Structure 1
Amino acid sequence: MKKVVVSLLGALMLFVSITGVAFADRPDLRDAVDEVVGTPYKWGGTTTAGFDCSGFILHIFNQYNVELPRTSRSQAETGTRVTKDNLRPGDLVFFNTSGKGVSHAGIYIGDGQFAHSSSSRGVRISNMSDTYYEKRYVTARRVVSEEDYKAMIGNN
């Protein structure tokens, strides 16, 4: 029985040390975004060869092992609704750019800014207060746990 307990404790310590390394290896959100700013837009794109808006979000959140649906419309139904006043880095923001409901998405990065893959300019950072986006804002969703949030903002 003692050997079983010692083995379990050893396995637990190994797991904890591996998990700690995994969190330390994650870039913070701003670094992850900066790494792909300038990547061209590609409809249906999910790689650094080209992203659409939801593909960009998937690329960033995969780095934190956060699973999300493929489309911006489906992503807008995930997680918990957040008011514009309570946005924090890592929250998803959604816009109606087509006149037919949620059709564009980005990641709030703080200071009134969000990162997204624009169909005309590729991955970029824009201001939530830009008239174009302010008029088309629909909702925001919080999709990360507190632990993932801390990893995203560099407090691993």
Structure 2
Amino acid sequence: MSIRKSAFTNCRRTTIVKCMKFRHIAFGLCFLIFASATWASEERTAEKTQTLLDRYTSSAQELALRALSFVGVSYRRGGESPETGFDCSGLVRHVFREGLGMILPRTSRDISRVGETIDRDALRPGDLVFFNTLRRGFSHVGIYLGEHRFVHAPASGGEVRIEDIRHQYWTRRFNGARRIAAAEISNPKQDP
């Protein structure tokens, strides 16, 4: 009986060891698949961003680069800096102020009154896009990047991110777009 018990125990130990090895191998394979998928996704995102940037004029490129540098910064209502976080108009104001030396009005509604109205099919990088997200017009603003993409600070709990303007959520809420000329905005270097 002792021999049978010993053989059964050895067989069971062998099975357990094989299962443990299988689990380690399976875990390792899952990790490698996940890591390669993440790397490939990051590589595709970097390629898309570079493609977008290749098409910009110098001032639009400056705006886009500045705006893209804040992707991942937390949303904060009333926020106007990367240290404290941004709301949508705070992000736009910061990008225009730091990138072009322009001071825009504080709210998205007030910003929507500045510049030239443009059609959606005439959007160029650096243009501002407006949305009705709070059941009132021009309650949200973002900076158009080109190729149907814009960057914005979405809402509480969110982070500055890039979105596709063709997404159904944004298409239904689109209020319009504006192109802002430097002459229409006060320049802090020229203000008394």
- The two structures share one fold, judged by TM-score above 0.5: yes
Q: Identify the residue that residue 80 of structure 2 maps to in structure 1.
A: 46
Unaligned runs of 5+ in 1: 1-23, 147-156
Structure 1 Cα separation of the partners of residues 63 and 70 of structure 2: 11
CA apart distance, 1:106: 0.2
Letter in 2 for 1:54: S
Aligned to 1:79: 115
CA displacement at 1:35 relative to structure 2: 1.3
Match of 2:137 among 101, 123, 130: 101
Partner residue of 2:175 out of 112, 121, 138: 138
Q: 1:18 corresponds to which residue? A: none
Aligned to 1:10: none
Between the aligned partners of 2:116 and 2:126, the Cα distance in structure 1 is 13
CA distance in 2, matches of 1:61, 1:109: 14
The 3-state SS of whatever aligns with 1:36 is: coil
Give the AA of the match of 2:179: R
In structure 2, the residue corresponding to 1:118 is in which secondary structure?
Answer: coil
Unaligned runs of 5+ in 2: 1-57, 184-192
**Matched residues in 1 for 2:116 and 2:63: separation?**
19
The percentage of aligned residue pairs carrying the same residue is 41
- 8 Å CA contact 1:90, 1:144 repeated in 2: no
Q: TM-score, normalised by structure 1?
A: 0.73
The question of whether the paired residues in 2 share the 8 Å contact of 1:95 and 1:102 is answered with yes
Counterpart contact for 2:77–2:87, Cα < 8 Å: yes
Partner amino acid for 2:134? S
- String of CA shifts for 1:80-137, please: whole Å, max 9, x gaps: 0010010001110000011122110000011100010011422100010011111000
* Higher RCO (C-alpha under 8 Å, 6+ residues apart): 1
Q: Return the TM-score normalized by structure 2.
A: 0.60
Q: Distance in 2 between matches of 1:47 and 1:129?
A: 28
> Which of 47, 57, 60 is residue 95 of structure 2 equivalent to?
60
In 2, the alpha carbon distance for the partners of 1:134 and 1:27 equals 25
Rounded to whole Å, the distance in 2 between the matches of 1:77 and 1:27 is: 23
Q: Is the 8 A contact 1:66 1:144 kept in 2?
A: no
Find the partner of 1:112 among 127, 148, 167: 148
SS where residue 70 of structure 1 aligns?
Answer: coil
After TM superposition, give the deviation of residue 145 of structure 1 in Å.
Answer: 4.2
The residue identity in structure 2 corresponding to 1:55 is G
Q: How far apart, in 2, do the equivalents of 1:42 and 1:129 lie?
A: 26
SS at match of 1:28: helix
For 2:101 and 2:177, locate their aligned partners in 1 and report how far apart those are by CA, in whole Å: 20
Give the total of aligned pairs.
122
Shift, 1:144, TM fit? 3.0
Which structure: greater strand fraction?
1
